[in-house]
Structures are given as structure tokens and as C-alpha cells.
Amino acid sequence: MTLGRTHLQQFSLPAAGSGAGLHAAAEPEPTSADLHVHSQWSWDALQGSMDRTCARAVELGLRAVAFTEHADFTPVAAGAQLDVAGYMECLTRCRVRFPGLAIWSGVELGEPHRFAVEATAVLRQGTFDLVLGSLHCVESEGQLVDCSELGSDRGLDPGSVMRSYFQEVLGLLAAPVEFQVLAHLEYPKRYWPAGYPNYRSEDYRAEIEAVLEAAARRGVALELNTTRGMDEARGLCPAPEVVRWWRQAGGRAVAIGSDAHQPETLGAGLAVAQEVARAAGFGATSVLNVSGPSSALAELLTPG
């Protein structure tokens, strides 16, 4: 499994579940892995399909896909729980049906710093190749509010929500729950309301750099999420300048994913994200290999 820098990487993928890592290929070829994908096993992807997504991946020429299904515990999930056993059975069937595609197991843990017991219980139910640490909600007037409400709830001040968000991300990075990738940093900007000055990363640089420094100390990879190919100003999370700051903060790796919830949006925006990663200086040494806890993944991500 790869979760690293993903621009023009030279690699050959092993069969999923083989225990082998990634190896440099003789000739350069574009990386074609989508490392943040949802299927029908995610509570908010009822129109998703793991089977059809794998077929779409083959059609697109992708060589790897990671199904990072939601495990959320906030009120917005309405009590929905990830059926880990059913998900793993489906994953196994798809690996048999699509032997030429590396299909990685994964989970996106929502707010694991607030729900450490629940998140840990999910991780104990299966073996996941890739675990994302994710933040969708902030606290407002004593309640958790999903940032997707930012564009519709006029009682929410965008600037305050953004600063609360970055503070929460610091809490996420301090959580004892294990994860390998910090997902879609700057998530609230997807829902930035009309009528306000445009969101600019520079306006929150101090807060963002504090997050990046904490992420580098923890030794996780930073995800570059394309939001299914949405307009780059809103959908590229984080923005290109933040990826550069990540490099400057000592960040070692970038993971790129579309956050697709339906087969039709698989891989959307990956080419742009790959260009951003390369422009920020992420090269071959940012490719991560993983086959277990003592793999090169842990060696690369754990600060030395």
C-alpha cells in the first residue's frame, strides 16, 4: 500500500494482501492510486458501490484504490455504525474479482480524539491497510456542529468556525488513537458561505502552521484531498500553499485521494493534486511502503 507523495512516482504494486510493499519500477510512470474512497459501507454513500468503483478504477487505469469507509460517532451520523465484518467480506470478493487492482482496506475515523473508545473498538474489529484521522465537526454553544452547515446556518461565523476547527485538529493530533494520515485539512472551506470574503489560508497561517508542526511531530502523512474534483479554491484540502508549509514544517509524506462517494467521481482531481505535491517538493523519498507495524511506513513516518 502507498500513502505517500503521489506525483510521477515510479512503482509497481503487489497483489493486495500479499504483504509486499511498493518497489521502484525500471521506467517512470504516473502514480495512479486513489487513497480516499467510500462505498456503500459508508453511512453517507448510499449510492456507492465497491464493486462498481473497482470496475471504474480498472476503466480509468488506476492501479490501486483504498476504501476508507466512515466510522463516525457524532449526531450527524445518526447512530450509523460501520459493519466491519460485512465490509471486509465485500473487500475480499472484490479482490478476487479484480486481481489486477490493488484494493486496500481502510477506515476514516471521525473525531477520534472525542470518541477514542469507539474508534479503538472499530480498529480492533479488522486489519486496515490505511487509517485516516478526520475532523468534520466543531463545538458551537456546547454542541457538535458539522462544518457542512457553515453555508446554511447564518448563526455560524466562518472565521470563528475555522479557528475552532484548527484547535480541534490539534486535539485530534494529540489523541492516543492510531492513524497514519491526517485527512482533508481545511475541510470547512468546502462550505464557505457566499457573501463573506473568500477563504484564504494565509489568514490562518499561524493556526495552520501549529497544526502542521504537530502533525510532523506525530509522524503522520498529510492528505491532499480533491473533494471529488470540486473547484480547487474550495475543494483542494488543503490549499497548495499549505502543502508547501507542510514541507517546510518537516512533513515527510502526502497522501492523495478524491473522497469519492460514488464510482463516477473516483479519481477526480488527482492530476491537479499530483502537480501540487510535486511543486511543493515531494519526491521519491516520500513514497511510503507498508506491510505491517514494523514496515518502512512506520520507519518513515515516525520522527527520528
Every domain of the chain and the residues it spans: 33-301
What integer pLDDT is reported at residue 135 of this predicted model? 98
What global pTM score does this model have? Answer: 0.86
How does DSSP assign 20-72, residue by residue? ---B--SS-----EEEEE--TTSTT-TT--HHHHHHHHHHHT-SEEEEEEEE-
The C-alpha atoms of residue 226 and residue 19 are separated, in whole angstroms, by 29
Place of cell 484494493: 103
Set of cell numbers at residue 266: 473516483
What integer pLDDT is reported at residue 195 of this predicted model? 84
The C-alpha atoms of residue 37 and residue 267 are separated, in whole angstroms, by 9
Decide: 21 and 9 in contact? Cβ < 8 Å: no
Decide: 217 and 246 in contact? Cβ < 8 Å: no
Angle of CA points 228, 234, 235, to nearest 5°: 20
Q: Which value, in Å, is the radius of gyration of the alpha carbons in the chain?
A: 18
What is the separation, in whole angstroms, between the first and last Cα of the chain? 22
Residue 96 CB contacts under 8 Å (≥ 6 apart), including other chains: none
What integer pLDDT is reported at residue 286 of this predicted model? 57
Q: What is the longest distance spanned by two Cα atoms in the chain?
A: 57
The C-alpha atoms of residue 101 and residue 217 are separated, in whole angstroms, by 33
Q: Which fold has domain 33-301?
A: TIM Barrel (3.20.20)
Distances (CA, A) of 111 to 73, 179, 216: 8, 12, 19
Other beta carbons within 10 Å of 150? 24
Decide: 88 and 125 in contact? Cβ < 8 Å: no
Q: Mean pLDDT per segment of 10 residues, for the chain of length 304 residues?
A: 27 31 32 89 96 97 93 94 98 97 95 97 94 94 87 81 96 96 97 91 98 96 94 95 96 92 96 90 53 36 41
What integer pLDDT is reported at residue 63 of this predicted model? 86
Cα–chain center distance at 236: 12
